[in-house]
Amino acid sequence: MDGILPVVSLPIAVSGRNLLWRRMVIDDIRSDPDSQGGNYTKSPQSWFRGYTLVRMMIDGVPHLQALIPDRPAADRFIQDARQEADSIDPNDNLYSLESSQDYDPQPGLTSIRAKVLALNFSDDEFNPSELHVLDRLMPKVPHGRFIVQEGSETSYGHLTMAHPELWSQHVAEFMHELGDAPPKTSGR
């Protein structure tokens, strides 16, 4: 492969706030008697209560500050989050959260041969830039670099990943870089 572009992730095991929120959501769903071991006929109530907090956590602080200037806006956010939760199967969320339990690319960073551009956002509370993980570990990737795009009122924290119009220029530049790479030869 010529290039890898991880978005909203860190090259370490899931830990800290990122691990804590995952464990809290998993526990809320699994410990709800209505979850019936995943064989529920209606979504467990803990899912609806917990999803509002999840939704707040995955958004950016500057965006929420602009979006929620008063109590009616806060009430709308809560109502919208509950409606959004109603369209998501909690089992799908459990699978998604549990699938990253063994994620830890750090031991293999020095063996990556493809070009890598890691893209994160400064307002992503799950992959906080203030931990300086990318500063410390991306130099271990032989052809790796990273960008931490500044958050703003118009970005969405972790959810900025779902708004490529806010970061597509980085992808275009990276794709251009890959196009400039010399052609690969087969080793045979």
Each residue of 81-121: pLDDT tens digit?
A: 999 999 999 999 899 999 999 999 999 999 999 999 999 99
Each residue of 54-86: pLDDT tens digit?
A: 899 889 999 999 999 999 999 999 999 999 999
Q: Which of the residue ranges 19-33, 140-154, 171-185 has the most confident prediction, judged by mean pLDDT?
A: 140-154
Each residue of 8-46: pLDDT tens digit?
A: 999 999 999 899 989 998 998 999 998 888 888 888 888
**Global pTM value:** 0.83
Largest CA distance in the chain: 66
CATH number of 17-98: 1.10.1740.110
Q: What is the mean pLDDT of the chain?
A: 91
**β 144-149/3-4 pair status:** unpaired
Q: What is the pLDDT of residue 185?
A: 47
C-alpha 94/C-alpha 70 separation (Å) is 33
* Domain residue limits, the chain: 3-14+109-179, 17-98
Write out the DSSP string of 9-68. Answer: --SS-S-HHHHHHHHHHHHHHHHSGGGGGGT-SS--HHHHHHHHHHHHHHS-HHHHHHH-
Which CATH number is correct for 3-14+109-179, 3.40.109.10, 3.40.50.1820, 3.30.70.141, 1.10.3720.10?
Answer: 3.40.50.1820
